[in-house]
Amino acid sequence: MTEIYTADSSFYGKLRRRLARLIYTRPARFEGLARPLLTISFDDAPTSAAHAGAALLEKYGARGTFFISAGLSGSDSHLGPYTTEAEIKALHAAGHEIACHTHSHLDCGRASAAEIALDLDLSAAAFRQMSLPKAQTFAYPYGDVSPQAKSVLNDRFQASRALHHGLVTPGTDLNQTPAVGIEGPDGEQTAIDWLIRAEDETAWLVLYSHDVRENPSAWGCTPATLERLIVRALDMGFDIVTFAEGARLASGQTIRKNKAA
């Protein structure tokens, strides 16, 4: 992923995204949360996220979700170098969730169902080669969604994360889970605003970033920003969970409690 992506803004692209929201849905089945939930996730998993992002979560007894495109491992981009196999294994050993972001960072909005299925098979093979457990959750590269993508993903993952803003509450489609980016000059304040909403509604909020470094890309954040958000969430009484843990709870199952809570 070395080039800057431009979403399909055509009429067809807009219609495709709207239609995707109506089919292959997996409604969340919360029975009432005692405390709000927060997931912190990292897309593409640049090395900076695997080091600075993971270290900050671990500092507060929490763990995050790293959406990995294994085919990019070790290459470079505008987000900085991507995680190597050794770094991915270290994240898993530390208790972080290693989740799927396709193998090649495939645009699932424009790809066919067959292309998506093949790419996911390549991702699963790469995870097995790294002795990682089967990925339980998924994030759409570029956040672009299509009916054909949801038809393939529905049978493979517990939940699939998109990029539109929102909270996970009863009835939310887990196959197109909303998320809020910690990115850009207003990223921290936007995340805080959504933390407040999640606290008020006792809901599940998913945050995401890409790189975590002192001079981040337009899609990343600084370590200081991430740490302030972690501390604020814990002070507000959030349980910090991986995306898979949140998905299990949203499906009516039980999860472990955050160690730092």
- Look at 254 and 189; give whichever has higher pLDDT: 189
Of all residues in the chain, what percent carry a pLDDT higher than 70? 89
| Residues 202-206, mean pLDDT to the nearest whole number | 97
Mean pLDDT of the chain: 91
pLDDT in the model for residue 261: 34
Tokens representing 167 are 């909270």
Q: What is the pLDDT of residues 145-190, one digit of tens each?
A: 999 999 999 999 999 999 999 999 999 999 999 999 999 999 999 9
Beta-ladder partners of 209: 42
What stretch of H or E contains 90? Answer: helix 85-93
C-beta atoms surrounding 105 within 10 Å: 20
Position 2 confidence tier, pLDDT thresholds 50, 70, 90: very low
Cα-based angle 216, 217, 218 (whole degrees, multiple of 5): 120
Reported confidence tier of residue 45, pLDDT bands at 50, 70, 90:
confident
Segments making up each domain of the chain, as ranges: 11-250
According to the model, what pLDDT value does residue 30 have?
Answer: 85
Who contacts 97 (Cβ-Cβ below 8 Å, separation ≥6)?
63, 64, 65, 66, 136, 137, 242, 243, 244, 245
The pLDDT of residue 14: 58
In terms of Cα–Cα distance, which of 199, 180, 201, 204 is closest to 190? Answer: 180
Range 132-162 burial, b when 16+ CB lie within 10 A, else e: beebbbbbbbbbbbbebbbbbbeebbbbbbb
- Give the tens place of pLDDT for each residue, 98-113: 999 999 999 998 899 9
Can you give the pLDDT at residue 152? Answer: 96
* Cα–Cα distance measured from residue 109 to residue 87, given in angstroms and rounded to the nearest whole number: 29
Is the pLDDT reported for residue 34 higher than 80? yes
Nearest in space to 179 (alpha carbons), one of 42, 77, 86 = 42
Amino acid at 96: H
pLDDT at position 260, please?
40
Phi/psi at 210 (nearest 5 deg)? -120, -95
Mean pLDDT value of segment 224-241:
98
Average pLDDT over residues 39-59: 97
157's tokens: 């993952």
Specify the range with the lowest mean pLDDT, choosing from 69-78, 197-206, 229-238: 69-78
Task: Give percent of the chain above pLDDT 90.
Answer: 79
Mean pLDDT of 206-210: 97
Is 42 a residue whose pLDDT tops 90? Answer: yes
Would you state the pLDDT for residue 133? 97
Question: How large is the average pLDDT for residues 11-37?
Answer: 78
* The CATH classification of domain 11-250, taken from the options 3.40.630.30, 3.20.20.370, 3.10.20.30, 3.40.50.300: 3.20.20.370
Instruction: Provide φ and ψ at 241, rounded to 5°.
Output: -130, 160
207: left (phi over 0), alpha (psi -120 to 50) or beta: beta
